Amino acid sequence: MEAKGNVTQFILFGLSYDPNIQIFCFFLFLFCFVSLILGNFLILISIHCSHLFHQPMYYFLSHLSSMDIYYTSSVTPKLIADLLTEKKTISYGYCMFQVFSMHFFGSIEVFILTAMAFDRYVAICKPLHYMVIMSRKKCNLLVLAAWAGGAVHSLPQLSMTLKLHFCGPNEIDHYFCDIFPLLKIACTDTYITGVLVVLSSGIIALGIFVILFVSYAMILWTLRTHSAEGRRKALSTCGSHFTVVILFFVPAIFSYIRPPTTYPEDKVFALFYTIIAPMFNPLIYTLRNTEMKNAMRKVWCQKIWGKGNVKHMD
C-alpha cells in the first residue's frame, strides 16, 4: 500500500501522556489481553472437544470466541507495546490493515451475535421447529453469511480510506487507526466520506441493535407461558447474550452514529468494544451457563487426569 501524499507513517497519541498512567495501563491491558486469549481458547477447546459443538448455540459461540481473538489481536498488541515507548508510530500500511481488520472482524462479530439471537428466538418461540430451522447446514450458511457480510462492509471502508490524501499533519489522537481520526488529518474534502461511514457503520449498527432488542422483547413475551424452571434457564441464557450485545453495541453506536468528528471520549468508548467486551465474553458465557461449565469440567479433567477419574467424578 502506498500513501497518497507525503505521509508514510502516523504518530499515535495513545491513551495518556502521563508515564505513570501508561505503566499502569500496560500491566492492566496486558492482563486483559492474556485473559481474553486464554478465556476464548478455553471456550473454543471445550466446545470442539465436547458434545456442545453439535448444538447451534455453542457452535455460534465457538465462532464468536474466534472473532474475539482475531478482532482484539489486530489492535491490542500494538497498544500494549506503545505504552512502553515515548514515540508511538505506525506505518501507513499497518494503519490501513488496522482499519480493514477492525471493520472486518468487528462486523463478522456483529452478524454472529445476530445469529445467536435468532437461535435463541427460534429455540424459545418456535421449539417444535427448532431442529429443522437450525440444522447444521443452515448454521453453516449463517456463519458463511456473517463472513460475507464482514467483507461487504469492510472492503468499502478500506477503499474510502485508501483514497484519502495525507500531505501535512500525521498525528492521530487515538491508540489505533480508525476512519474518523484519519478523516480529521486528511488534506482533502472528507464530508462525503464521513457521511458514508456514518451510514455504513453507525446506521447499520443501530439497526441491528434495534432488531436484537425487539427479538429479546419477543422472547420475554413468549416466556410468560413457560414454567418457572423454563423461564429461569431461558432468562439466564438470554441474559448472557444481551449483556454481550450491550457491552459491544452501545459504545460502537456512540462512536459511529454521530457526525464524523472525534472527541476525547472516543478512546474510552473504543476500549469497550476492542478489549473489555471481548475479555468479558468468556466469563459471561460460562459463569451463568451450567452446560458450558459441565463441558469444561469434563473436557479438562479428562485431559489432565484421564477418563477414569472423570467418570468417577460424574
| 54-113 pLDDT, tens digit each | 899 899 999 999 999 999 999 999 999 999 888 889 999 999 999 999 999 999 999 998
> pTM for this structure?
0.86
- Burial (CB count <10 Å: 0-12, 13-18, 19+), residue 231: middle
Phi-psi region of 2 (alpha: psi -120 to 50; beta: other; left: phi over 0): beta
Whether residue 205 is predicted with pLDDT greater than 70 in this model: the reply is yes
> Checking DSSP bridges between strand 9-12 and strand 171-172, what pairing results, if any?
parallel
Whether residue 171 is predicted with pLDDT greater than 80 in this model: the reply is yes
How much is the average pLDDT of 214-234? 77
> What percent of the chain has pLDDT above 90?
30
Give 247-261 pLDDT, tens digit per residue. 888 888 888 887 767
* Grid cell listed for 116: 445467536
How much is the average pLDDT of 199-223? 85
User: Hey, is 129 helix, strand or coil?
Assistant: helix
Select the more confidently predicted residue: 266 or 160: 160
Angstrom distance (rounded) from CA 302 to CA 296:
10
Element (H, E) at 279: helix 277-287
Q: Over the chain, what is the mean pLDDT?
A: 84
Q: Check the CA dihedral 211-216-219-224 and report its sign.
A: negative
Domains in the chain: ranges and CATH: 9-294 (1.20.1070.10)
Task: Give the pLDDT of residue 1.
Answer: 59
Select the more confidently predicted residue: 48 or 304: 48
User: Hey, is 55 helix, strand or coil?
Assistant: coil
How much is the average pLDDT of 218-237? 74
Residue 30 banded pLDDT, cuts 50, 70, 90: very high
